[in-house]
């Protein structure tokens, strides 16, 4: 598991699961919130990566 994208998805899923478990009491609400958080995390990372791609170090 050396791909940055796979590590990002794994980290986003773990963080989203913990945050959703802390925020919601019912399983359906936890799942919905976890998917929303993970999607936002991954989407933001992909957009920022795409925007910053033309600027090498």
Q: Could you tell me the CA-to-CA distances from 46 to 17, 21, 32 in Å, in that order?
A: 20, 25, 21
4-51: pLDDT as tens digits:
999 999 999 999 999 999 999 999 999 999 999 999 999 999 999 999
pLDDT of residue 41: 97
pTM to 2 decimal places: 0.85
- Count of CB atoms within 10 A of residue 52's CB? 9
Please state the domain extents for the chain: 13-46
């Amino acid at each position: 598991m050396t791909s940055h994208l796979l590590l990002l998805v794994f980290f986003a899923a773990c963080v989203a699961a913990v945050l959703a478990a802390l925020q919601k009491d019912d399983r359906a609400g936890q799942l919905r919130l976890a998917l929303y958080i993970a999607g936002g995390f991954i989407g933001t990372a992909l957009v920022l990566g795409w925007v910053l791609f033309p600027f090498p170090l």
